Chain A
């Protein structure tokens, strides 16, 4: 009965309509940072993130901005944990201009999803101008390579979502 399922699931490239970001930017932004840092801290606790790379993140501030949803998450890494930062306003308006983030990633939702799913390589998205990286470039490379090196725990195998193999 599962034979009609696609062999593997791919995230398409898409851009949400502009009204989404107009609405999204007016919503509170703290939940995004809370969700993101909770996920990252789970990875820290499972020792999935290499410690020598984590040390380099100490005290740095990060901003992840999803352009077409109008949302962003600002957080830092301190004392072994990722912590959300709430104080400043949206970077899209200039309210957040008081904070200079060490590292800023900007992309549309589909690009971020493709990155998280390891469907696309960040360099590919960068070459194609779908991902921008501003601030401390070396820190950006540390983060990228740290996430690349993670061996995510294997999810249970569902028919239709089999990963490709030779």
Chain B
């Protein structure tokens, strides 16, 4: 399974390097979200600081959804998903390869947003703990998102359907990462968030294992 998953991961990176469609759209969308929120919050410093981590995660989540829709649609358009399904490989390899690529794209967007939000919202998100939280949060988003995108891509209303089914599923991740991010910013007392990264790791393991096991079934006819 590993060689096939690695081939799929490399193929996604190579296709993105050539087209630069996915990351540029995700980055542009997330930058716009950050700026729109800053104007909506009327540039009041105390409000901006309190909202910074929420803005970070909402921007990351919507950028990841945008990327997932595009990534799976690209597989569907030319029938490439069928071509992969025709190969004598474990279907879970498709999940691992696609989820790994989606995780990497989400991680890049999240990490790039840290200095951008720090600058626009006048807070300090440039902290290794924040990078760790972005990685843990994005891992859960990418695994759940890859599974759900594989389901919704087979429907006509896929662009609408993915956010509708994905947002409730990732709510636990969102609640935990926002609280932990506020903790890193010093907005939450340490005792209220110090255990959250461990909880996030457990949640990620549950999500990754569940999605890995379920992926073969969602591709069934």
Tell me whether A and B are bound partners.
no
